[in-house]
Amino acid sequence: MQLGQPSRTALATAYARAYHQIAGEPRIFTDPLAVRIAGITPDQLADLETTKYQDDTDMRRRRRLFLAARARFAEDTVADAVAAGTRQVVILGAGLDTFAYRNPHPDVRVFEVDHPDTQEWKRQRLDAAGIELPSSLIFAPVDFESQTLAAGLAAAGFDRRRPAVFVWLGVIMYLTRDTILDTLRFVAGQATPVRLVFDYIYPASASKGEEMDQRTARADLVASIGEPWLSFFTADEIANVLREAGFDRIDDRDAPHLVAGYLGIEPRQGSIAPPHVLCAMRTG
């Protein structure tokens, strides 16, 4: 992230979630606040997601469906955890995520953790959009690279001795490996059962041909706005890392299977190294 600036990739994913609500594509994820928090009109959203990028409309649609599917997967996991008795939700690197403002579980506390610059910007956006802050929401500003999650959450009143569900979407690729490993160990050390949902991307060497070109273009784009991808994993590698950290159950899905599962269709063939989302759990 650029010093003193909120995350620009957070705005890009918020635009994609917002356009998913109005695009007329199969709806995987419903978020009635997504367009409001995006802060631009439906026409402007359509312009950004389609007209400007006519060449890669199909790629953008696939990306949008994946972003919708990962959000759905996370919120389904939260609902499962709550049904099983968990009362603390932690959204790590929340960006413009709106779960906390739609939280359907009245006795569940939601901790939004984000870089202080992004969090300050989000609060201004919430205010501008007239979105109220529910009493169940607690903000915890933390720079993962220079501050500890433990201290940030403790200061916010988070209880380490009670189960929790952590959601960490679209973040770990922007962090250093040491920070990711520290965070995984912290989450695994939570009172059980603890669940963690996050997504990750494969190393560039796993892609080929057109997929490699698209990946390179995306990597260049995020680097050019000061948020370069720093960390990559394969499914085997992340599974080993998670087991070493103490997690004992892993449900890992690649993007085509995740999206197809929600749409009730066959997975799209041909992706060599699509992004993955997983739910890791430590049960005891």
21 binds ligand SAM (CB under 6 A): no
Least Å from the CB of residue 255 to ligand SAM:
14
CA 107 from centre of chain = 23
**Tokens representing residue 112 in the block:** 């939004």
For the chain, the first-to-last Cα distance in angstroms comes to 36
Would you count residue 174 as binding ligand SAM (CB under 6 A)? yes
Instruction: Identify which of residues 117 and 248 has a Cβ nearer to ligand SAM in the complex.
Output: 117
CB of 270 to ligand SAM, least distance (A): 25
145 near ligand SAM, rule: CB under 6 A: yes
Among 67, 119, 126, 76, CA closest to 101 = 126
Stretch 75-114 residues interacting with ligand SAM (CB under 6 A): 93-95, 97, 114
- C-alpha pair distances (Å), 194 with each of 110, 204, 262: 15, 31, 24
Task: For ligand SAM, give the closer residue by CB, 7 or 21.
Answer: 7
User: Quick check: 69 and 255 in contact, CB under 8 A?
Assistant: yes
Following DSSP, what letter does each residue of 117-137 receive, concatenated? HHHHHHHHHHHHHT----TTE
Query: What x/- string results for residues 202 through 241 when contact with ligand SAM is judged by CB under 6 A?
Result: ----------------------------------------
Give the contacts of 45 (CB within 8 A, at least 6 positions apart). 15, 18, 19, 22, 35, 38
Cβ 230 to ligand SAM, closest distance in Å?
A: 9
Q: How far apart are CA 265 and CA 259, in angstroms?
A: 9
Shorter beta-carbon distance to ligand SAM: residue 14 or 273 = 14
Residue from 25, 76, 80, 143 touching ligand SAM (CB under 6 A): that is 143
With CB under 6 A as the contact rule, which of the stretches 41-49, 101-109, 127-135, 137-145 interacts with ligand SAM? 137-145
Q: Smaller CB distance to ligand SAM: residue 147 or 240? A: 147
For the CB of residue 68, give the shortest distance to ligand SAM in the complex, in Å.
Answer: 11
Handedness of CA 112, 117, 121, 124 (dihedral sign): positive
Q: Which long-range contacts (CB under 8 A, 24 or more apart) does 77-84 make?
A: 77/165, 77/167, 77/195, 77/197, 77/279, 78/165, 78/167, 79/105, 80/195, 81/163, 81/165, 81/193, 81/195, 82/108, 82/165, 84/193
Q: Is 112 or 254 the residue whose CB approaches ligand SAM more closely?
A: 112
Residue 284 beta carbon to ligand SAM: minimum distance, rounded to whole angstroms: 29
Query: Rounded to whole angstroms, how far apart are CA atoms 22 and 44?
Result: 12
For residue 144, give both structure tokens. Answer: 């993962």
CB of 66 or CB of 202, closer to ligand SAM: 66
Positions touching ligand SAM (CB under 6 A) are 1, 7, 9-10, 13-14, 93-95, 97, 114-115, 118, 142-145, 169-171, 174
